[in-house]
Structure 1
Amino acid sequence: MRILLVLAHPLEDSFAAAVADTARKALQAGGHEVDWLDLYRVDFDPRLSPAERRGYFTEPYEVSGLSDMTSRLKAADGLVLVFPQWWFNFPAILKGFFDRVLAPGIAFRPDPAGGRILPQLTNIRHFWALTTTGSPWWVVHLYMGNPVRRLLKRGIANFCSKRLSFRMLTLHDMDRATDAKRKAHLARVSKAVAAIR
């Protein structure tokens, strides 16, 4: 299986980078082909251009400047995102990836009759998010309602593909996590990702 593994963190020595590396090794050990995409290292521009925005309303859609990334996404059987949650949301660079790469004609197609979105990423069978948050579990789930999970599962995953496996693994209270807790989380990530079939 071909997995597009997307990392969204500015620091090369971050815990997110360690999570991504752990996931990559587990996937490769399981016989999967990993397509590694580090958004910061490729200097991805998250800003939606005027031409791209205008292209949302015309066919063919304007994604010519992103043909490499869109072709990689269309060639993948699975998508694994690795990122920190900042202010209970995505890093700006990852939000820009969604805005620019998960575009009409690539990830979905507007229904000409209006109202609905028709999924186009039917090749994606696994959609995973490996993430961290500085807040404790109860703040994310009980107070905030787990907004990142809702956006990923109910919004992006369900609108871009059907019948996929969605999973999200989060290390909560990251700012106070001990070395032992971080190592335990990496082991959890490795075990979970190794089970992808």
Structure 2
Amino acid sequence: MKTLIIYNHPYEGSYNHAILESVIKGINNNYGEYEVIDLDKENFNPVMNSNDLLGFVKHQAVDPMAISYAEKIHQADHLVFIFPIWWELMPAMTKGFIDKVIYPGLTYDYKKNGFSMVSLLPKLKSTTVITTMNTPKVMYKFSYGNALKKALIKGTFKKSGMKNVKWVSFNMVKMVKPEKREKWLKKIERKFAEM
């Protein structure tokens, strides 16, 4: 099984980076194959310009980096997104990745009714989104309406036809004890070792 990891955090000392390392350890424990797209290190440009928008209308992507990322997604059995939640949603690079790679003609297309979507990723079996935030889970759900679940999980991935989409959220990361953070990392490692 091949896993493609899309990672977005600018600081290598972050808890997100520790999560990335735990995911990789788990995959290696299971003798799996993986590749990491590090959006920050690769200097991905998240901005949709007028050419990108025209390509969106024509269902013909123009950004070479986005096209190469989509080709990697086509080869993957499993996608993993790792990023922090800032101001209740994903960082700009992750949002730009969604805008420019989860794109008509690249990863999905429209059905004849012009509204419903169908996935162009027949090999992709599942997608896991792993996030960190300092907001308590209950507050994120009730005060902010589970914004990421609505916008990304349902409004993008499931809407565009992706199957078996799971979201793992680590909340109050700065407030919990180091032992709990370490326990979370072990849990992630086990999860990916068993896939």
2:159 matched to 1:182? no
Counting only pairs closer than 5 Å after superposition, residues 146-161 of structure 1 correspond to structure 2 as 146-161=146-161
Give me the CA root mean square deviation.
Answer: 1.6
Counting only pairs closer than 5 Å after superposition, residues 28-177 of structure 1 correspond to structure 2 as 28-162=28-162, 164-177=163-176
Runs of 4+ aligned residues of structure 1 deviating over 4 Å after TM superposition are none
Correspondence for 1:195: 194
Identity of aligned residues (%): 23
1:108 touches 1:119 (CA, 8 Å); kept in 2?
Answer: yes
Q: What is the alpha-carbon distance in structure 1 between the residues aligned to residue 65 and residue 84 of structure 2?
A: 27
TM-score, structure 2 normalization: 0.92
Letter aligned with residue 120 of structure 2: Q
Deviations 1:105-139 (A, max 9, x none): 11211234422222212322110011111111111
Correspondence for 1:2: 2
Letter aligned with residue 84 of structure 1: P
Deviates more, 1:66-75 or 1:82-91: 66-75
Aligned residues: 195
Question: Could you list the runs of 5+ residues in structure 1 that have no partner in the other structure?
Answer: none
TM-score, structure 1 normalization: 0.91
Residues 181 and 65 from structure 1, CA distance in 2 versus in 1: closer, same or farther, beyond 3 angstroms? closer
Q: What is the alpha-carbon distance in structure 2 between the residues aligned to residue 166 and residue 91 of structure 1?
A: 20
Question: Could you list the runs of 5+ residues in structure 2 that have no partner in the other structure?
Answer: none
Residues 110 and 64 from structure 1, CA distance in 2 versus in 1: closer, same or farther, beyond 3 angstroms? farther
